[in-house]
Structures are given as structure tokens and as C-alpha cells.
Amino acid sequence: MRSKPDQAFILIANSQVRKRCIMQKILPLFLLIPFLVCTCIPACGSAAPVVEPGSGFIVVASSPSADFYTTTPSGTAPLRVTFFDRSEGTLPLRYLWDFGDGTTSTVQNPTHTFAPNGKYTISLTVTNSYGKDTKILPEFISVGDPPKVDFSVSPTTGILPLSVAFTDRTRGATQSWKWDFGDGTTSTIQNPTHTYTKTGTYTVTLSSVNEFGTGQITKSGVINTGIVPDAEFIAEPREGDPPLTVRFLDFSSGSPLAWLWDFGDGFTSTEKDPVHTYQNAGNYTTTLHVANAFGSNTLTRPDHVRVRSPGPAISPVQPQIETPSQGENQQGGIISLIRQARGTTEKNLPTSGFIPPQFMALAAVLTSFFFIFVNLLISNIGALSQIGSKFAKFFMDLAGGHAVEKLSDAEIEKRKIEVQQRDRHFLGLSAAEIIIIEVAVIMIALAFVIADRIELTLGNILIYILVGAISVVLHDFAHRYFATKHGHDADTQFWGLGTIIMFVTAWLYGNAFAQSYRNLVNRKGEDNIKEMGIEMVAGPCISIILMILFLALTRLGGLYAIAGGVGFTINLITAVYSLMPIETMDGGTIWKWNRSVYLLLFVPMIAFYFFTFMIV
């Protein structure tokens, strides 16, 4: 049994424990009360409390604040626009849209189509139970068209340098411009001025931009710039007996579009490169007028064409009249014929400024041997740098005519050229040889076209190819005939070095002094110098005969005169070049066989070559 004081102590202790538990439960409530007070006070200050009868609750509400936006503020008609509401306020909200074109809507996010061009003021009124608000955006929607671009140009044509003023004629509001003048330059100025410095026809483009889009216009060939043509021409031949057929070639610069020739005998022509025949003796002044869109120019050459009077005939009733001797008549006629066949020396050549026309033929010969010299020098440069004796031997070889032989041997070794045993299908020629001869003919024709500076017409090209074919094939057949007769195999090969020399001399000097092919003979057994000499002399002899025949052909006039002149020049150069006293040409072998025959052929031909091109 406990005493009464102990029981009283236990009761007190239990009472204190119960109080502490109650305080622990009530303490969180005291902490929550300040938080609720802080939360409710701002709400009560911003919204009027409303006590709904019988509800027992306090409702906090706000009046509306109108706001809206769209992603399509401008465009072309018809413009479809969707408006998005972002108003604030106590729900429910009521909407009233005014689109500025007399139409309205009560939808929260309406879509409206604007048809006429113009600027539209949009307003939104938002209403709820506690008030209303309106937002107005003036000219918020813009409806219009892209710019209708146009421009004018002044002047449109002129000589260089040409300053052109461009004027913008665009209809509709425009925010920016971009000009493309067609020559690689541009401008962003509304009305620019541009200067053209190169000849040509130019296409101009203008692009304009506004808030509704981009407009563009391109005018093709609106600007045409150039220069006044400068008249220039040649005539061939310029002298001869009547009837004298003269070919006039236009070399005017500045791209003329119209020509008017006055031949001085009462006849005219509007062709670019006319052919005219003078019927009567006399000295004729020729005039060329050229024109294009930028102006005209005239070139007059007094006494440019000379038609000689034929010698007076011997009258049987007037024996006392003294006439020129037959030798004098023949000499004048032959010289005139040679001059007509050779053609004019007035050619548009790159070397005309520092080499007189009468020395072009000599320059062609020297250039041909200069090529050989340079190539041989390059091929022997290692040996030349070692010892002086080889340097001296090099020049002795060159002077002795072995330069081309060494170069030819080098080319033969490099290209592995040898006489081929081929099946002969046509006139003793293999298919490969026919192709080589065709290529050689075309190369020769092109070289002489370049040399003569003729107009590239189908007729002229066919004449050069036909005459070249006759000359090449007969020269080759002459070699081949005697080689076959002596029991040897002959082969025609393309010659690269000769082709290069031929084109270079044709371009520089108007004289294609070289050959694009050569003949190789596979000799069986020991070389017979007599057989070799006969085989080699046949080619130059055929070329000389052809030269005489073509010279006579020029007397027929017209196309025959053109073909005769071409054939005369080709065969004269072929004969002289093949008689050069070097091993790879015919002349080297002929010299070894019979020097009298060689001199009888070479000396007159080289003299006649220089006489034709330098003296006549």
C-alpha cells in the first residue's frame, strides 16, 4: 500500500503530462493563423467581397482587361485573319469585335476575311458581371498589293563609255529597290545612274519590295553598247590584165552590220566579202563604207586596183606600128599571172607592224629553221654544257643540215614510228594510210586558209581541201610508185613537228612553210643511192608540174582562179620545202645521189619562191 502523499504526487505528474500533449497539438494551429491572415488581407484589399444571400461564402472577383493579337497583320486581298483573345477578368466574359469594315463578331477567337485594300482599325470590348473594357488598335490590319514594277532607261544605245539613267516607274508603295544592270554590278538606289564600259547587249532587272510582297521585272537586251566600226579591207589580186577578177575581204573592226563597196568602175555591192570583175583597163579607187548601230566609217584607197591595158595588136594595114617583143609580152603576162595566183600581200598579220610584206616569205623560212634550232638546242643542252667541242659540233651539224634529221629520229624513236607491213586496199594504200593522208590534207588546207586569211565559207574550204588533196596524194604517189617499182615497202606517216611549223608560219607570216606528213621506205638489202635518189626526186618533180598547171588554171577566172592560186602556192612551197638539203626531206637524198640534178631543181625553185613572194 502506498501512502497518501505518494498518490498525490503521481496524480500531479499525470496531469502535467496530459497538458504537455494538448499544447503540442494546439501549437501548429497557432502557426497557421498568421499565414492565413497574410494571404487573405491582399485579396480583401483588391476585390470587393460579395456576400451571396444564403450561400454562407465570400466571393472575390475582378472586372475584365481586354487584349488580343494576330499573326497575320498584313497581306494581299482577300486576306484571312485569325484574332486571338488574351483578355483577363472574372469569367464568364462576353466579347464584341469590331473589324473596322462594318462587320462585328462575338466569338472569342474569330476569323475574318478582309477583301478591299486598305488599313483597318480593330477593337475588342470585353464584358463581365463586374465591368467591361475596350482595346482599340488603329490601322492594325493592312491589305494591299505587291508593287507593280516598271522602269525606264535613257539612253538605250550608245558608244562606250555609255552613262545610262534608270528611272523607277513602280506603282504602289515601295520600301526597297534592287537593280541588276546585267554586267555584274547592282544598286539599291531608287533612280540610279550606271556607266557601261564594255561592248555588249545587257539585260536589266529591277526588284521592289513592300509589306505585301515582292515585284520584279526583267527587260532583255534593253541596253546596247558598242563602238563605231573602223573600216579595213584587202583585195586580191590587185593587178592584172582584163578581165580581172578581184576578191575583196572585209577586215573591219567594231562588228559592222552593213557594208557598201564602191569598186570605182560604177559598180557597187552590199556583200561582206564580194568578188568583182573589172572588164576595162585602168586604175580604180575602191571604197568601203561600214556601219552599225553606233555609227559608220569609210575607207578609200586611191588607185587600189590596177588593170593593165593589153599590148597593141599588129595591124596588117599598119605595119609601121612598133609593138613590144614577144618576150616582153610573155614576161608581163607571166608576172601578172604569178601575182594573181600568189594573191595579195596585204593581210591582217600579227607581224605586219614590224616586218614588211615582201619579207614575210623569208621570215617564214627563217622561223621554220629557228624551230628546228630551238628543239635541237633543247635536246642537246646537256651535252652542250659539258664540253665546248660538242657545242661546236652541234652548230656544225646544224649548218650541215642534220638538225631536222636528229629531231626526226628523236620523234621516230619516241613515237616508235617504223614502216608497217599493212594490207593495201585502195590504190596501194592501207586503211591507216588513207586516214593519215586525209588528216594531212585537212591540216594543209587549214594552214593555207589561215595563211590566206580567207572568209570561212563552205565553198572556200572545199576548194582548199580539194586542191590540198590533189597536191598531197600525187606527191605521195610519186614516191610510192618508184619505191614499189624498186621492190621496197613505202609508208606514209604524220609529222608532228612539221605540222606545228606549218601552222605557226601560216599565222605569223601568211606563208605555211612546212609539211604535215612524210614518206618512209623500208629498203630490203643494202641501200642503193641511185634508187633512193630517183624515189625522192619524183615527189618534188610532181609538185613542180602541179604548180605550173595550177598557175595556168588562174587564167580561167572565177572559182578556177581561186583554185589555181591555192594550188600554185601549195605546190610551190611543197616543192621548195621538200628540196631542202636535209636528210628527212627529199633534198638530202637527191644531193647524195646527183648534185647536178639537185642544183638544177633546188636553185631555180628557191629563187622562184623568193621572186614570187618578195619581188613580184
pLDDT tens, position by position, 446-474: 888 887 777 667 777 888 888 888 888 88
Q: Which residue has the higher pLDDT, 204 or 50?
A: 204
483-497 pLDDT tens trace: 888 777 776 676 777
61-70, 244-253, 458-467, 581-590, range with the lowest pLDDT: 581-590
Per-range mean pLDDT, top range of 22-26, 96-100, 424-428, 487-491:
96-100
Closest CA to 94 of 61, 67, 132: 132
Rounded CA separation 483/532 (Å): 8
Q: 66 near 77, Cβ under 8 Å?
A: no
Whole-number average pLDDT of the chain: 78
Q: In this structure, which amino acid lies at residue 101?
A: D
Q: Indicate the CATH number for domain 233-310.
A: 2.60.40.10
Classify the C-alpha dihedral 28-33-38-39 as positive or negative.
positive
Give the residue carrying C-alpha cell 607570216: 509
15-19, 312-316, 508-512: lowest mean pLDDT where? 312-316
Q: Which of 191-200, 279-288, 296-305, 560-569 has the lowest mean pLDDT?
A: 560-569
68-143 has which CATH code? 2.60.40.10
Parallel/antiparallel/unpaired status of strands 213-226 and 157-159: parallel
Which tens digit of pLDDT belongs to each residue from 152-166? 999 998 888 999 999
Query: Rounded distance, CA 576 to CA 578, Å?
Result: 6
Task: Express each pLDDT in 594-614 by its tens digit.
Answer: 889 889 998 999 898 888 887
3-state secondary structure of 454: coil
What does the pLDDT read at residue 491? 67
Please report where in the chains the cell 505585301 appears, as a residue.
Answer: 212
Residues of the chain within CATH 2.60.40.10 domain(s) are 68-143, 151-226, 233-310
Asked if pLDDT for residue 45 goes beyond 50, the answer is no
CB 182 within 8 A of CB 156: no
Task: Give tens-digit pLDDT for 532-560.
Answer: 888 888 889 999 999 999 888 888 777 78
Contacts of 227 (CB under 8 A, 6+ apart): 159, 160, 199, 254, 294
Does residue 432 carry a pLDDT above 90? no
What is the CATH code of the structural domain delimited by 151-226?
Answer: 2.60.40.10
First to last CA, the chain: 172
